Amino acid sequence: MIRLAVKKIGSQTVRLENPPSILSYYSIVGPKEGQGPLKDYFDLILEDDLWGQESWEKAESKIQEECIKSAINQGGLSSQDIDYLIAGDLLNQIIATAYSARQLAIPYFGLYGACSTMTESLSLGAMLIDGGFADKVACAVSSHFSTAERQFRFPLEYGNQRKMSAQWTVTGAGSTILSSIGDGPYIKYITTGKIIDPGITDVANMGGAMAPAAIDTLIHHFQDTGVDPSYYDLIISGDLGYVGKSIVIDMMKEKGYDLSKNFTDSGVEIFDKSEQDTHAGGSGCACSATVYNGYVFKEMAKGKLNRVLLMSTGALHSTLSTQQGESIPGIAHAVAVENTKE
């Protein structure tokens, strides 16, 4: 019996032999995000986060659909050129994605990784291409402040007081088109996270709930690949916010890894904490997706960043589990993106 070579290295990482190229990308954000520090990087800033729709949920679906279409167009492609769409959102039964996929008519895998879904989709899309199962894959996610508040917390009309540890769900979407050929940047390594649950039950402390999963994934990535944090120009997480970011830096230092010079978080970067009253920063699937597809990939295209480790984090809870007093499981997936293939 012939045994095929396994591409897995170490305990949780895959090294891609035929690294897929990031062919094109697109980002859409809401008005609040468009007033933040990264406003010049986003492709489309909405003036109204209902965007002409009858509900916040329909608006989110439209945002994701238009983002995917625009990313495809940016790559000089049509929807018929895309072999698979891998996408998700935060809502029950990922309805925003289901309805956008209905309009796109592309073979579809729906994902729910909460706020980790962007790097989860990039991971699976890259493995499909590296394995020879696809030529072009669209990876996308969306989130919306108003849909998330309605589902996970309180009706907006209630006007509840938010804790200082709470984060602000990003309204927007990000989409990346992966290709078997192209000039890069390339996805070279994938480190798949596992569930880490520190026992936190406070839904207003997502950063604390997800930080241990981020730490676990980072450590396994460095151990599996044999690289040091300094290898990367930038290590950027998804939506740990200020609370989670500080925990990761402190605990990684205790474990012998210095992230003080090149680590940040999308939830910290997307809003101006002092001017925009977002408390502990941004969150939501679109938090990392808009920062990666808006800021990171554009800086890589300019050559200002050459090696980046992207890591989106997710809190895998629901309103039902919260009401039953369950703790909040965390997950973090990482992909290493580099401008050179070798």
Confidence at residue 61, expressed as pLDDT on a 0 to 100 scale: 97
Model confidence at 23: pLDDT above 60: yes
Secondary structure letter of residue 191 according to DSSP: E
Q: Do the strands 21-29 and 172-179 form a parallel or antiparallel pair, or are they unpaired?
A: antiparallel
What whole-number distance in Å separates Cα of residue 310 and Cα of residue 234? 8
Mean pLDDT of 302-307: 98
Residues sharing a CB contact under 8 Å with residue 186, sequence separation 6 or more, in sequence order: 19, 20, 21, 22, 337, 338, 339, 340, 341
Q: Is the Cβ–Cβ distance between 55 and 103 less than 8 Å?
A: no
Mean pLDDT of 57-70: 97
- Strand positions, DSSP E, the chain: 8-9, 13-15, 21-29, 44-45, 84-88, 108-111, 136-143, 168-169, 172-179, 186-191, 234-237, 263-265, 282-283, 307-315, 330-338
What whole-number distance in Å separates Cα of residue 287 and Cα of residue 197? 22
Please report, rounded to a whole number, the percentage of residues in the chain having pLDDT higher than 70.
94
Model confidence at 168: pLDDT above 80: no
Model confidence at 159: pLDDT above 80: no
Confidence at residue 160, expressed as pLDDT on a 0 to 100 scale: 62
Confidence at residue 149, expressed as pLDDT on a 0 to 100 scale: 78
> SS3 of 234, please?
strand
Cα 202 from chain centre: 22
Q: Tell me what the pLDDT averaged over the chain comes to.
A: 93
Residue 307, Cβ neighbours under 10 Å: how many? Answer: 19
List the single range of 26-30, 120-124, 163-167 with lowest mean pLDDT: 163-167
Confidence at residue 283, expressed as pLDDT on a 0 to 100 scale: 86
Please report, as a single letter, which amino acid is at residue 215. Answer: I
Helix residue ranges, H only, 270-318? 273-276, 285-290, 297-301
Secondary structure letter of residue 276 according to DSSP: H
What whole-number distance in Å separates Cα of residue 32 and Cα of residue 257? 35
Q: Is the Cβ–Cβ distance between 68 and 175 less than 8 Å?
A: yes
What whole-number distance in Å separates Cα of residue 182 and Cα of residue 23? 6
Query: Which candidate, 198, 190, 137, places its Cα nearest to that of 312?
Result: 190
Please report, rounded to a whole number, the percentage of residues in the chain having pLDDT higher than 90.
80
Query: Which candidate, 98, 99, 90, 201, places its Cα nearest to that of 151?
Result: 90
What whole-number distance in Å separates Cα of residue 120 and Cα of residue 86? 9
Confidence at residue 31, expressed as pLDDT on a 0 to 100 scale: 96
Radius of gyration of the CA atoms of the chain, in A: 18
Place of tokens 């679906």: 61
pLDDT in tens, 236-286: 999 999 999 999 999 999 999 999 999 999 999 999 988 888 877 888 999
Model confidence at 4: pLDDT above 80: no
Model confidence at 18: pLDDT above 60: yes
Confidence at residue 322, expressed as pLDDT on a 0 to 100 scale: 80
For 111, the token pair is 């994902």
Query: Which candidate, 126, 127, 97, places its Cα nearest to that of 112?
Result: 97
Query: With bands split at pLDDT 50, 70 and 90, how would you rate the model's confidence at 289?
Result: very high
Residue 277: C-alpha distances to residues 156, 165, 218 (Å): 16, 12, 30
Query: With bands split at pLDDT 50, 70 and 90, how would you rate the model's confidence at 155?
Result: low
pLDDT in tens, 79-138: 999 999 999 999 999 999 999 999 999 999 999 999 999 999 999 999 999 999 999 999
Residues sharing a CB contact under 8 Å with residue 2, sequence separation 6 or more, in sequence order: none
Model confidence at 165: pLDDT above 80: no
pLDDT in tens, 309-323: 999 999 998 888 888
Mean pLDDT of 196-202: 91
Confidence at residue 276, expressed as pLDDT on a 0 to 100 scale: 86
CA 7, 290, 23: angle at the middle one, nearest 5?
A: 50
What whole-number distance in Å separates Cα of residue 12 and Cα of residue 239? 22
